[in-house]
Structure 1
Amino acid sequence: MYDVLVIGSANADLTVRVARRPGPGETVHGTDLTESPGGKGANQAAAAARLGARTALLARVGDDAYAELLLDAQRTAGTDVRHVLVEQGARTGTAMIVVGPDGDNTIVVSPGANARLTPADVTAAREVIAASAVVSLQLEVPPETVRAAAGAAGEAGARVVLNPSPVPDALDAPLLAAADPLVVNEHEARQLSGVPDGDPPTWARALRERGARSVVVTLGGEGALVLDAEGPVRVPGIAVEAVDTTGAGDAFTAALCVRLAAGVPLAEAARFAVRVGAAAVTRPGAQPELTLP
């Protein structure tokens, strides 16, 4: 039995820090390149495991050195990696990350083996899905695989937490209806709600009206807005000095999954997730050690 099963991506993060971001056609100097484990799926799995949840990861990696980097990091965090599939002849996904002086980042992802995670892999993992309280999904693997995972989780009675990132132009109705909650940042909420001039409560209401069972809008340092059948709840942020925002949203989502797997109400889970997200930005890298403020 797992508290949290994450079905998603695993990337090697190639990170450089700069004094300022370059403009179009401009070259700037940066720090030495660092290689570290990342990918939205792997980040969430590592964070959930570090928070004490029984966690498993279903993902695909290549047969290269980056795969070993990722698998070692998951084992260290405490994640069950028996369901991570190795694609022979493929490269592990990579993300090229530029971190500015304010801790904010710009990311370009090369999917690699992530693009080869298929609905057949989900079908083969049905017993694992059925043994999980919460299934966490993102959009760094093929959309048909995400839809298959959401369907399998629904059939098994597992709760689906959907973080639709990278944000698509739209979410199809069955996938949106599976989300409990749909976890979006302000940019994602604005785009998916179809209300570009709204505010977080407006976006959350629009997304529920479109079919999401519940919605969490993350607001960075300002906390989060939660909307479910009980009504809207604003969760205040926690003031910290940001070092690196890479993976902060993944840490938030993982913490949310951990608390939901324990059966706590969504607003209470979001309060814990805000603390974890705040802790994550005080450490470099996408899979930091988590010391709650």
Structure 2
Amino acid sequence: MTPDILCIGSVLWDVIGRSASVMDKGSDVPGRITRLPGGVALNIAMTLARMGRKPALLSAVGRDAQGIDLVTQCDRLGLITEHLYRSDDLPTDQYMAVEGANGLIAAIADAHSLEAAGDKILRPLINGALGSDTAPFGGTIALDGNLTESLLSVIAGHPAFTAADLRVAPASPGKAERLLPFLTSRRGTLYVNLEEAGILCQTRFDTAPEAAERLIQRGAARALVTDGGRTTCDATADGLVSADPPRVLVTRVTGAGDTFMAAHMNAELEGADRATALTRALAAAAAYVSGDITS
């Protein structure tokens, strides 16, 4: 099967504990614990598949029992898994989070196997399976910041990515600085939240439009900045487009940014203009956090 979009980055198991109670440090409350396929790249791919796309995954997944189960689940969801790097030595990665009525309380991302695999996950873009240095992949690529800083720096200037519509997101605020090479190379569209934009610009912002405009000044080719339930902004050198997300009752937060990014890419692939694409993406993210869209 030929993919129409590539999703590069974390493909792992999400272990999420959710409670309807307000939580703080040391809280011990009743709730539900679930294990679902997750990771930034996989979340984006699953959302795109629900929208009728044919995404391929480029990541590292172990050949352990968890990895075999994960790839089986991905296949059932209609994702292209043949280009995954399968390791006999590296265990399948995991992400663990705790969410309360007051949002995300804490999370731990164990993406050590993805980081250890390094540029092995990019082989299909270089060896001719999906592209090469002389005939680069020309479609859309969604890239997440769970890769190492050195590998992201290589990707920012690699000839195999020169023809692609590159869309980039940090895995978390703690990894936002890894995207700095995309500012200096002036390549790709960055999807960040207000905190991550502040980290990239080494300051704090009060609004998404302010943050998006500063990212363009710092070298970003394009930047989309979200701010929870407040105004979201899409900025390029040609100007700003802003929109407010729909007001909904929030029942979950993990994966909301990935849903927003996937819906935005899909809208633009369908030919939507910037304003329409932003509105559609915000609506999809709102439906997700409210629980109207299944994981």
TM-score, shorter chain, exceeding 0.5: yes
Deviates more, 1:42-51 or 1:218-227: 218-227
Q: How many aligned residue pairs are there?
A: 285
Deviations 1:232-261 (A, max 9, x none): 111121122221111010011111222333
Q: Which residue does the alignment assign to 2:95?
A: 95
Alignment match of 2:165 (pick from 152, 159, 173): 159
Instruction: Map Cα deviations across residues 255-284 of structure 1 (whole Å, 9 max, x no partner).
Output: 122233344433332222111111111239
Q: Which residue of 2 aligns with 1:234?
A: 242
Matched, 1:175 2:182: yes
1:148-195 residue CA offsets vs partner (Å, 9 max, x unmatched): 334347644111111123234635654223543211101111221233
CA–CA distance in 2 between the matches of 1:2 and 1:152? 21
CA root-mean-square deviation: 2.5
Give the counterpart letter for 1:45 in structure 2: A
**Amino acid of the residue matched to residue 202 of structure 1?**
E
1-structure distance, mates of 2:248, 2:294: 16
2:210 maps to amino acid: T
Which of 268-277 and 189-198 deviates more? 189-198
CA separation of 1:197 and 1:143: change in aligned 2, threshold 3 A? closer
8 Å CA contact 1:4, 1:132 repeated in 2: no
**Residues 216 and 151 (structure 1 numbering): CA distance in 2 closer, same or farther, change over 3 Å?**
same
Cα drift, residue 5 of structure 1: 0.7
Deviates more, 1:256-265 or 1:71-80: 256-265
Aligned to 1:207: 215
Change (3 A) 1:266 1:123: farther
CA deviations over 1:204-234 (Å, ceiling 9, x no partner) = 1211111111110112223511111331111
Q: Distance in 2 between matches of 1:276 and 1:229?
A: 26
92 and 47 in structure 1: CA distance in 2 versus 1, 3 angstrom threshold = same
Give the Cα–Cα distance (whole angstroms) in 1 for the partners of residues 113 and 5 of structure 2.
22
Residue 294 (structure 2) aligns with: 289
> In the alignment, residue 39 of structure 2 is paired with which amino acid?
G
* 1:55–1:80 contact (8 Å) kept in structure 2: yes
2:147 equivalent to 1:146: no
Give the equivalent residue in structure 2 for 1:21.
23
Instruction: Out of 105-114 and 211-220, give the one that drifted further.
Output: 105-114
Tell me the alpha carbon deviations over residues 123-164 of structure 1, each in whole angstroms, 9 at most, x when there is no partner.
442342534511111111222333333434764411111112
* Structure 1 gaps, min length 5: none
For residues 172 and 251 of structure 1, the distance between their equivalents in structure 2, rounded to whole angstroms, comes to: 20
Q: 1:6 to 1:169 in 2, by over 3 A?
A: closer
The question of whether the paired residues in 2 share the 8 Å contact of 1:190 and 1:198 is answered with no
Instruction: Confirm whether residue 45 of structure 1 aligns to residue 45 of structure 2.
Output: yes
- Letter in structure 2 aligned against 1:7: I
Say if 1:122 and 1:149, in contact at 8 Å, map to a contact too: no
- Name structure 2 gaps, 5 residues minimum: none
Residue number in structure 2 paired with 1:125: 125
Which AA in structure 1 matches 2:276? E
- Change in 2 beyond 3 A, CA 1:43/1:16: same
Paired letter, 1:170: E
**Matched-pair contact (CA < 8 Å) for 1:7–1:149:** no
- Once the two structures are TM-superposed, the CA of residue 6 in structure 1 deviates from its matched residue by 0.8
Which amino acid is the alignment partner of residue 84 of structure 1?
Answer: L
Summarize the alignment of residues 239-254 of structure 1 with structure 2, pairs less than 5 Å apart.
Answer: 239-254=247-262
Are residues 134 and 98 of structure 1, via their aligned partners in 2, closer, same or farther at CA, if it must alter by over 3 Å? same
Report the CA distance between 1:58 and its aligned residue: 0.2
1:135 has 2:141 as partner: yes
Q: Percent identity?
A: 26
Closer/same/farther in 2, CA of residues 107 and 242 from structure 1, 3 Å limit: same
